[in-house]
Amino acid sequence: MSLVRLNIKGISYSQTQNGAYALILNEVDGDRKLPIVIGAFEAQSIAIALEKEIRPPRPLTHDLFKDFADRFNIIVKQVIIHKLVDGVFYSSIICERDENEEIIDARTSDAIALALRFQAPIFTYKNILDKAGIYLKINPENEEETETDSVLVDDLISDELETSNEPENYKAKTLEELNSLLDEAVANENYEKAAKIRDEISKR
């Protein structure tokens, strides 16, 4: 499978959902955008890394990781968004130390926050871009988002949250089914859902 390089176009926030953001990645040699729903903390960390002039008084989590890696001569070479399952993107951080390469699993938002700090390239596979990439109409003169772009991004965030917040009747499930659902929620990094399932298991 061929890799496609991505650049960060920017971060959009939902007009209707508080604390919901979409990270917009742009295909380097094309017009497709890859929108990824991220949390407020990750959005803040990425935004700070994009704005070179902003320096927080104390290191954020991703800054701490960068300082730690620098101290022990660990280099982040690249980030690869390698899998998309049920709307969740999975990423790998390719690191190197003493000419030994390691691959570390990471949430995509964390991986990109680190890639910015290490000035490492970001890639995804062509089949993922074919599946999840969208075309946003951009004004070529100023490359600013149009109202249509904002609506599309807002719809994306709303759809994502509605899907993740679908009510489920956990009381009707057996313990075996609940444990299976818990494993699935953790694997998909849906920790809010996992917490609800864990509460139901605890009540039993």
Given a cut of 70, whether residue 150 has pLDDT beyond it is: no
Alpha-carbon dihedral angle through residues 73, 74, 77, 78, given to the nearest 10 degrees: -150
Q: What mean pLDDT is predicted for residues 77-100? A: 94
C-alpha distances in angstroms, 52 versus 3, 45, 49, 56, 87? 28, 12, 6, 11, 31
Per-residue pLDDT tens for 162-203?
544 445 678 888 888 888 888 887 777 676 677 788 888 888
pLDDT reading at 80 higher than 80? yes
d(CA 93, CA 114): 9
Say if residue 141's pLDDT is above 50: no
Q: How many residues does the chain have?
A: 204
Number of CB atoms found within 10 A of residue 182's CB: 18
Would you call 105 helix, strand, or coil by DSSP? strand
Q: What integer is the mean pLDDT of 108-124?
A: 97
